[in-house]
Structure 1
Amino acid sequence: MYATEDDLLTRVPEVNANPGDASIALALGDASALIDTYLAKRWAVPLTEPPRVLVDLCIDMAAYKVNRDGGAVSEDLRLRYEDALKLLKDIAKGVIDLPGMDAVSDDPDQPQSAGAVVVSGPPRLFGRDKGY
């Protein structure tokens, strides 16, 4: 995860949860997974040492999710969540770079892959050498 429970409760005191609540861990996990989804186009995820901006984005998104599930989302939290999503989209498109991070691909439209695709199957039934 890109942020901790302590990060969230310290930075966003209006979160509707108590220390140790499962909703906090769930929201932080969801926010981190969403961040990874956007970053996977350009970096190998999860990042082992994320830049501070990703920690901030994770906190903003998790705070929104905790309060949304509790039924009390302030306008400020909603705007912070929407701004975080916009920033993630710009990072994924390559409009904004992450400080200190070297992209695996300079082409944001080229998703990262684990390697070549290998396909195997039975030998051909028909071919030029068999006269069909």
Structure 2
Amino acid sequence: MGYASKEDIDELYGTDLLVRVADYNKDGTPDPEVIAKGLQAADEICDAYLSAQYTIPVVPTPGVVKNCAIDIAVYKMALGRTGRTDEMRVRYEDALALLEKISTGKVGLGLPPETVDNGDGTSTTTNPNVRRSGGSFDCGRA
């Protein structure tokens, strides 16, 4: 499972946008393979940035990462299409800029602190929004 889904794009921007950017065969419905390629490209870009600070994939997906993935996927699907807009390009560039800040530790993921039972009657609370010294932090991935 990736950082965003077709349903996430549809919920944020509506079906009309998906038809405009992903209906390559012009049958009035978004092409599943175009959506899959756009979402895959978004996941790869997000992972490239996030891997500088976190174990990837980051699970559960923070909202900030999901929104970046949505904007990247929409832009990637719209490449070469007449439906691509300057707003899509700006959102794409903004997503990359935010991912860059996350990758350098200037911006966190907006995750709540995590408390882990140490098994000896004590617990430890950590901040998953910052890189732990000595390595990357696994944000809940099993």
- What TM-score, normalized by structure 2, do the two folds share? 0.68
For residues 14-71 of structure 1, the C-alpha deviation after alignment (integer angstroms, 9 at most, x for no partner) is: 2322345211111101101110111111110011201111111100010111111434
The count of aligned residue pairs is 109
Moved more, 5-14 or 90-99: 5-14
Q: Which has the higher contact order (CA 8 A, sep 6+)?
A: 1
| 1:44–1:104 contact (8 Å) kept in structure 2 | no
- Distance in 1, Cα, partners of 2:43 & 2:57: 9
Deviation at 1:10, TM superposition (A): 2.6
* TM-score (norm. length: structure 1): 0.73
- Preserved contact between residue 27 and residue 66 of structure 1 (Cα < 8 Å): yes
Structure number with the higher strand fraction is 2
- Opposite residue 6 of structure 1, the aligned amino acid is E
Where has structure 1 moved over 3 Å in runs of 4 or more? 102-106
Root mean square deviation of aligned Cα: 2.0
Aligned-pair identity in percent equals 29
| 2: CA distance, partners of 1:82 / 1:62 | 12
Structure 1 spans left out of the alignment, 5+ residues = 113-132
Does the CA-based 8 Å contact 2:105-2:130 persist in structure 1?
no
**For residues 43-58 of structure 1, what are the structure 2 equivalents within 5 Å?**
43-58=54-69
- Bigger Rg over Cα: 1
Structure 2, unaligned stretches of length 5 or more?
23-28, 112-127, 137-142
